């Protein structure tokens, strides 16, 4: 496999000018054909190993970075679905009836998730204020889960959630993610939306799925 | 494109570039060997041609004319500085990957031939080293080889030249490794050894396998071994005297307001006048070394001691005032005179002790002076063993060389060849800090991921920029002109960060640091680091024409420095 100067610079994490100087000084094994320099990957790999230099191909790097930008908030919310008139008079009841709407989990899974959510609520309330709560398990879900999911649940009656500002919660965004990184990424996006006062007013009207997702998409673009 | 110009692409050499270096090394060794022989023969020719004029009283103008002509030649025709050339070779090896001009391949040969042939007190060895190195460098350039290969070939040239002129291959290798390259790796030793062999072979083929000084049999006793310690002290003193003599003469001649060639002429005529009374000081002086080693040098203690000092003076006059030539041969003459002086003193003080033949002391003195002047003990030892063909003297030889080099190092921390380079900070031996720093350029270290901000920006806007940035430093620019006005560190906004009232009241320009140290992209990295260290800075902005171009930080520097060091040292 042939590599160019720029690719090798990328692999070794040095500027191209350094690679060019190494070629000039004869420190790096290079092949020349018709005036252009190229490198044999296998030879270079041995060379890097001999000198203890880190050597990673650019493709490997790209996959690592890609993980973060998995999905937009709008997509994740449409996976989870939007549900209205969730019954319940306290945190336990509300969560119990919300969990039943999460379609991709079987009954055992729903029960386990409920326990995890309640554990998290015991540590500290997930009510972030303005009547919004973001229930989520303390640890990311197990490896079987590949895509993050947000299930939106509008409550029948506002419920006291021990939120930071003491306001009763009227909407839950149940946030399930495969890794902490994605979790934090989605959390910050949700929090950004919740800061927008007009969005909160809009939520209070209990919009249907289509209207909600459109609104979220617009907000996301302004981010 | 001619394929023979690119031997690196031949099938044979594609397998392993070491084969290529060995092949070209042999060519370089042969060429520089021929150059060395050419100088040697033209010197002999010139000496003989001028010999019948030396009897006249006006013979002192001969060295003057020779030195003046050689200075004129160097200055006007080839436009090169005076001196013997070895520091130039070392400098080009350490700084420019061994690039040497083609004209250097013959310029020093001609100029030193004029100086020495006319009677100036200097040696032909350094000029042939210079020309051998230049041949190696230019052959490497002709075949478009890279820096590392070129440096090795420069070494090959030097080794071939020394090997050829002394008929001494090991001295050639050791001198190159110890003095010219300063690096002993498996990669460069083989081609250099091959070049040394080639140089020696060409010398043997063209002028016969003759040892420079005829071998003698010495019977060395225990007393002589101890006496050699005392001799080492004397040779060290002589080396220091010669070093200082050369330097002070150079300074004195620098104060004379006259063209270079007139200065060289003045020095040459002084040498000529000394030579009228003491002909031993003239020329390279190998003839006298011969007689001394053979024990046929008759004059007494006083004469020898005076001759020794006169030779030091004459060498200082020749080289310090602008003549062209090396110090190798004068070192050998002064060394043998020192050895002789010491032997005569010993015999005068303890006449009953049965000292070894005085020729042996002349040998030891030569080794002591070479080791002391070059601070290269191995070169001293191997050179003397090879040019005298006597392995028997090796024990006292090692003692004299080691002690002399140590004493000289104590008084003069850097050798005669390296003194100038060390003073200017130009000596960059492979694998050293200075070497790594000089190879890294600012361009390679520059971090350009800093976000520039305007000086009239309120903090509110700035905090938004902070949210999406990855760095702690923010260069501040003038919004109208784009000129760099100062730096803002994340710490600077901490007091205002949680006071929303001030978000629109305070501007970036008010909290930034306007008096920042900046550097230019062409600045020397050593100086930049010195600046950062003295001010306890962790990073420093690079500014060109009042425009911010990037940051240099110690974190990136460490990363790049370490990679560079790993690439340079492990081979």
| Tens digit of each residue's pLDDT (9 = 90 or more) over B464-493 | 888 888 888 888 888 888 888 888 888 888
Which residues of chain A have a CB within 8 Å of the CB of B441? 17, 21
Structural class in CATH, domain B222-424: mainly alpha
Beta-carbon separation of B146 and A26 below 8 A: yes
b/e burial code for range B39-50 (CB count within 10 A of at least 16 → b)? bbebbeebbeeb
pLDDT of residue B124: 84
- B193 burial (CB, 10 Å; 0-12 / 13-18 / 19+) is buried
Which residues of chain A have a CB within 8 Å of the CB of B146? 23-26
Domain ranges (residues) in chain B: 3-207, 222-424, 437-569
| Tens digit of each residue's pLDDT (9 = 90 or more) over A112-128 | 888 888 888 888 888 88
Where does residue B326 fall: left (phi above 0), alpha (psi -120 to 50 degrees), or beta otherwise? beta
Q: Is A136 a catalytic residue?
A: yes
- Computed on alpha carbons and rounded to an integer, the radius of gyration of chain A in Å comes to 25
ipTM of the complex: 0.76
| Tens digit of each residue's pLDDT (9 = 90 or more) over B77-134 | 777 776 678 888 888 888 888 888 888 888 888 888 888 888 778 888 888 899 999 9
| Tens digit of each residue's pLDDT (9 = 90 or more) over B204-223 | 888 877 766 777 777 777 77
Among A51, A84, A136, A157, the one annotated catalytic: A136
* Pair (A88, A48) in one structural domain: no
Structural domain for A171, as ranges: 73-222
**Count of domains in chain A?**
2
Note whether B127 and B73 are within 8 A (CB). Answer: no
pLDDT of residue B452: 86
Higher-confidence residue of B276 and B314: namely B314
* Pair (A77, A183) in one structural domain: yes
- B306 burial (CB, 10 Å; 0-12 / 13-18 / 19+) is middle
* Pair (A53, A111) in one structural domain: no
* Pair (A92, A62) in one structural domain: no
The arithmetic mean of pLDDT across residues B500-520, rounded, is 83
Cβ atoms within 10 Å of B300's Cβ, excluding its own: 9
Question: Which residues, other chains included, contact B524 with Cβ-Cβ below 8 Å and sequence gap of 6+?
Answer: B438
Show the CA angle centred on residue B352, arms to residues B350 and B354, nearest 5°. Answer: 95
CA distance B84 to B418: 12
Q: Which residues of chain A approach chain B closer than 8 Å at the C-beta?
A: 12, 14-15, 17-18, 21-28, 32, 50-53
| Tens digit of each residue's pLDDT (9 = 90 or more) over B536-567 | 888 889 998 888 888 888 888 898 898 888 88
* Pair (A171, A82) in one structural domain: yes
* Pair (A120, A187) in one structural domain: yes
Q: What Cα–Cα distance (Å) separates residue B560 from each residue in A19, A53, A60, B386, B444?
A: 12, 11, 22, 45, 8
- CATH value at residue A146: 3.40.930.10
Q: What is the CATH number of domain B437-569?
A: 3.10.580.10
The arithmetic mean of pLDDT across residues B423-446, rounded, is 83
Look at residue B258 and tell me whether its pLDDT is greater than 80.
Answer: no
CA distance A150 to A81: 8
Beta-carbon separation of B566 and A53 below 8 A: yes
* Pair (A162, A183) in one structural domain: yes
On whether the B3-207 domain is CATH 3.40.50.920, my answer is no
pLDDT of residue A182: 81
Beta-carbon separation of B147 and A22 below 8 A: no
- Its pTM stands at 0.76
Note whether B122 and B115 are within 8 A (CB). Answer: yes
| Tens digit of each residue's pLDDT (9 = 90 or more) over A8-44 | 888 888 888 888 888 888 888 888 776 778 888 888 8
SS3 content of chain A, % helix, strand, coil (to 5): 50, 15, 35
| Tens digit of each residue's pLDDT (9 = 90 or more) over B397-422 | 888 899 999 999 888 888 888 888 88
The arithmetic mean of pLDDT across residues B513-527, rounded, is 86
CA distance A189 to chain B (A): 14
* Pair (A58, A131) in one structural domain: no
In sequence order, the β-bridge partners of residue A176 are A149
């Amino acid at each position: 496999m042939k590599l160019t100067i720029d690719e090798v610079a990328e692999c070794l994490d040095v500027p191209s000018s350094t690679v060019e100087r190494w070629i000039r000084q004869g420190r790096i094994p290079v092949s020349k054909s018709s005036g252009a320099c190229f490198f044999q990957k296998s030879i270079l790999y041995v060379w890097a190993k001999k000198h203890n230099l880190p050597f990673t191909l650019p493709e490997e790097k790209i996959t690592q970075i890609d993980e973060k930008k998995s999905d937009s908030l709008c997509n994740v919310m449409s996976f989870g679905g939007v549900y209205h008139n969730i019954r319940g008079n306290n945190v336990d009841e509300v969560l119990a009836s919300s969990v039943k709407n999460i379609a991709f989990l079987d009954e055992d899974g729903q029960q386990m998730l409920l326990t995890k959510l309640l554990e998290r609520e015991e540590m500290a309330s997930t009510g972030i204020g303005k009547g919004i709560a973001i229930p989520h398990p303390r640890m990311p879900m197990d490896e079987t889960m590949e895509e993050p999911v947000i299930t939106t649940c509008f409550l029948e009656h506002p419920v006291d959630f021990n939120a930071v500002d003491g306001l009763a919660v009227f909407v839950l965004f149940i946030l399930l993610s495969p890794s902490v990184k994605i979790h934090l990424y989605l959390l910050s996006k949700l929090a950004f939306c919740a800061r927008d006062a007009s969005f909160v007013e809009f939520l209070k009207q209990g919009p249907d799925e289509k209207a909600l997702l459109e609104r979220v998409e617009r907000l996301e673009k302004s981010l | 494109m001619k394929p023979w110009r690119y031997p690196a692409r031949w099938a044979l050499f594609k397998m392993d570039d070491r084969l290529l270096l060995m092949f070209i090394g042999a060519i370089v060794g042969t060429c520089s060997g021929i150059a060395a022989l050419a100088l040697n023969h033209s010197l002999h020719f010139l000496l003989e041609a001028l010999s019948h004029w030396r009897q006249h009283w006006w013979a002192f103008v001969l060295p003057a004319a020779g030195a003046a002509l050689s200075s004129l030649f160097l200055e006007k025709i080839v436009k090169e500085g005076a001196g013997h050339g070895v520091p130039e070779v070392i400098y080009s090896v350490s700084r420019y990957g061994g690039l040497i001009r083609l004209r250097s391949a013959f310029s020093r040969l001609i100029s030193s031939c004029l100086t020495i042939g006319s009677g100036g007190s200097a040696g032909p060895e350094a000029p042939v080293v210079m020309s051998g190195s230049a041949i190696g460098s230019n052959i490497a350039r002709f075949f478009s080889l890279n820096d590392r290969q070129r440096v090795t070939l420069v070494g090959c040239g030097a080794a071939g030249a020394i090997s050829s002129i002394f008929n001494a291959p090991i001295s050639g290798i050791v001198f190159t490794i110890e003095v010219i390259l300063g690096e002993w790796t498996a990669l460069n030793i083989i081609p250099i050894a091959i070049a040394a062999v080639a140089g020696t072979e060409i010398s043997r083929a063209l002028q016969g396998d003759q040892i420079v000084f005829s071998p003698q049999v010495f019977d060395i006793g225990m007393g002589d071994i101890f006496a050699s310690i005392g001799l080492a002290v004397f040779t060290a003193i002589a080396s220091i005297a010669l070093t200082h003599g050369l330097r002070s003469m150079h300074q004195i001649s620098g104060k004379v307001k006259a063209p270079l060639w007139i200065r060289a002429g003045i020095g040459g005529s002084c040498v000529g006048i000394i030579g009228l009374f003491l002909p031993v000081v003239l020329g390279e002086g190998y003839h006298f070394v011969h007689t001394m080693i053979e024990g046929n040098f008759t004059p007494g203690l006083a004469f020898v001691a005076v001759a020794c000092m006169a030779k030091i003076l004459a060498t200082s006059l020749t080289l310090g005032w602008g003549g062209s030539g090396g110090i190798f041969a004068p070192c050998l003459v002064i060394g043998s005179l020192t050895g002789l002086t010491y032997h005569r003193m010993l015999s005068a003080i303890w006449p009953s002790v049965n000292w070894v033949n005085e020729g042996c002391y002349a040998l030891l003195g030569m080794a002591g002076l070479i080791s002391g002047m070059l601070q290269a003990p191995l070169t001293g030892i191997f050179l003397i063993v090879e040019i005298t063909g006597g392995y028997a003297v090796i024990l006292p030889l090692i003692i004299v060389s080691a002690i002399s080099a140590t004493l000289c190092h104590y008084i003069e921390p850097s050798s005669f060849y390296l003194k100038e380079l060390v003073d200017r900070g130009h000596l960059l031996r492979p694998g050293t800090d200075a070497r790594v720093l000089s190879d890294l350029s600012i361009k390679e270290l520059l971090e350009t991921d800093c976000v520039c901000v305007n000086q009239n920006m309120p903090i509110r806007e700035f905090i938004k920029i902070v949210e999406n940035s990855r760095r702690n430093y923010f260069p501040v620019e003038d919004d109208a002109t784009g000129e760099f006005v100062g730096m803002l560190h994340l710490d600077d906004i901490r007091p205002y960060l949680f006071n929303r009232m001030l978000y629109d009241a305070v501007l970036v320009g008010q909290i930034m640091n306007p008096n920042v140290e900046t550097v230019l992209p062409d600045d020397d990295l050593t100086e930049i680091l010195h600046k950062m260290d003295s001010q306890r800075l962790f990073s420093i902005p690079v500014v060109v024409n009042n425009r911010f171009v990037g940051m240099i930080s110690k974190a990136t520097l460490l990363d790049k420095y370490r990679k560079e060091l790993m690439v340079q040292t492990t081979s």
